[in-house]
Amino acid sequence: MAANDNIHPGCSLRVDVARQTLYLLSNGVAVKSWPVSTSKFGLGSEPGSFKTPLGRFRICEKIGGAAPAWSVFKSRLPTGEIASPGGEEDGVLTRILWLEGLEDSNRNTRERYVYIHGTNQEHLIGQPASHGCIRLRNEDVMVLFSLVPEGTEVEIA
């Protein structure tokens, strides 16, 4: 599947926290998957907890479509800086898919700034390591960004 192939309107995403894997689904069938990192602080929707929320969401905004790989974002704006691999900071890089909760239990997700995004800590992908977001390798988030439209439903379980 080429990066610019369009997935039909039946697409959705599922994040399997136990497997640290994000699946692209077409009419409920997985057609592509990527390793991810969810929160090192566990699961939940409490404000200020840095936990990854569970439940149903939608991508409410896509940010950074024209930015180069490894671009650093602060407050959802590109800084012009290109990150290097590693470091202690949990960087928001390359692309942002901003999540909005669709259930009472996760309705605060947008206000908590929970995203699917690239990271400077690619070596930690595959294990819980984030501050609440769903982190992917930078190349992977670029592909995902090109395949899903705003409004795509996301399940985190």
Please name the fold of domain 11-156: L,D-transpeptidase catalytic domain-like (2.40.440)
Summarised one tens digit per residue, pLDDT across range 97-145 is 999 999 999 999 999 999 999 999 999 999 999 999 999 999 999 999 9
* C-alpha to C-alpha distance for 61 and 115, rounded to whole angstroms: 10
CB atoms within 10 A of CB 138: 21
Q: What is the pTM for the complete model shown?
A: 0.93
DSSP H or E stretch at residue 143: helix 138-147
* C-alpha to C-alpha distance for 112 and 130, rounded to whole angstroms: 14
* C-alpha to C-alpha distance for 70 and 68, rounded to whole angstroms: 6
* C-alpha to C-alpha distance for 59 and 153, rounded to whole angstroms: 7
Domain borders along the chain are 11-156
* C-alpha to C-alpha distance for 90 and 74, rounded to whole angstroms: 11
* C-alpha to C-alpha distance for 80 and 28, rounded to whole angstroms: 38
Express the helix, strand and coil content of the chain in percent, nearest 5 each.
10, 40, 50
Summarised one tens digit per residue, pLDDT across range 7-57 is 556 799 999 999 999 999 999 999 999 999 999 999 999 999 999 999 999
Tell me, what DSSP letter sits at residue 53?
Answer: P
